[in-house]
Amino acid sequence: MTTEATVPTGETATRVAVSYPEDLSSWGEFQLNERPFRAYLRKTKGEVHEGDVWEEFLDVGCCGDTLDVPLRVESVDGGDRMGDETEIVYEVREACGIRGGWLVQSADGPTDF
């Protein structure tokens, strides 16, 4: 794992590992892996550092909602900036109690927003 102290500033990262909570719905995981979402991260994040947390809205889908998902940067290889060629890899971390998926729009869904 690369630490901030060894990451060259102003250069493009070759690889960024980002984790998501294990209780993310399968629809949410699908959205993370879609090309448009990866392109969105590369274009909007700019500087990236280990420990950064991004609250990201993934997609509503047809009958559900994945809500905002906390993505955390676990490691950065190469420089400290996202670029078109930066490889984004995902890791799963402990659950955080997100409550998205099919129940969001039903009577059984969360009521404590």
Is the pLDDT higher at 17 or at 1? 17
Tens of pLDDT, residue by residue over 25-41, are 888 888 899 999 999 99
Tens of pLDDT, residue by residue over 42-57, are 999 999 999 999 999 8
For the purposes of burial, counting CB atoms within 10 Å of the CB of 60, is it exposed (0-12), middle (13-18) or buried (19 or more)?
middle
- Which of 102, 92, 103 lies closest to 22 in space, CA to CA? 92
Tens of pLDDT, residue by residue over 91-112, are 999 998 886 555 555 555 445 5
pLDDT > 70: percent of the chain: 73
Q: Phi, psi (5° rounding) for residue 82? A: -75, 150
Residue that the structure tokens 């590992």 belong to? 17
With bands split at pLDDT 50, 70 and 90, how would you rate the model's confidence at 8? Answer: confident
Question: Would you tell me how many other CB atoms lie within 10 Å of the CB of residue 108?
Answer: 9
Provide the sign of the torsion angle of the four alpha carbons 15, 66, 31, 102, taken in this order: positive
Q: Is 21 helix (H, G, I), strand (E, B) or coil?
A: strand
pLDDT of residue 4: 47
pLDDT of 13 higher than 60: yes
